[in-house]
Amino acid sequence: MDKERILQELNFQAVRSSGAGGQHVNKVSSKVVLQFNLDASKGLTEKEKGRIVQKLANRLTKENSLQLQCEESRSQHKNKELVIKRFFNLLTEALQVPKKRKKTKPSKAAIEKRLQSKKKAALKKISRQRPGTDQ
Q: What is the mean pLDDT of residues 92-114?
A: 93
Cβ–Cβ < 8 Å for 50, 75: no
CA-CA-CA-CA torsion sign (49, 50, 55, 59): positive
Claim: this prediction has a pTM higher than 0.85: no
Res. 134: pLDDT tops 90: no
Please return the burial class of 66, using the count of CB atoms within 10 Å of its CB with bins 0-12, 13-18 and 19+.
buried
Cβ–Cβ < 8 Å for 51, 94: yes
Q: What is the pLDDT of residues 42-84, one digit of tens each?
A: 988 999 999 999 999 999 999 989 999 998 888 889 999 999 9
CA distance 45 to 34: 21
Res. 25: pLDDT tops 90: no
* Contact residues for 118 (Cβ-Cβ < 8 A; gap 6+): none
Of 78, 87, 70, 86, the residue nearest 10 (C-alpha) = 87
CA distance 25 to 92: 34
Res. 110: pLDDT tops 80: yes
* Contact residues for 76 (Cβ-Cβ < 8 A; gap 6+): 14, 28, 29, 30, 32
Q: What is the pLDDT of residues 33-44, one digit of tens each?
A: 999 999 888 988
Mean pLDDT for the chain overall: 89
Q: What is the mean pLDDT of residues 108-130?
A: 95
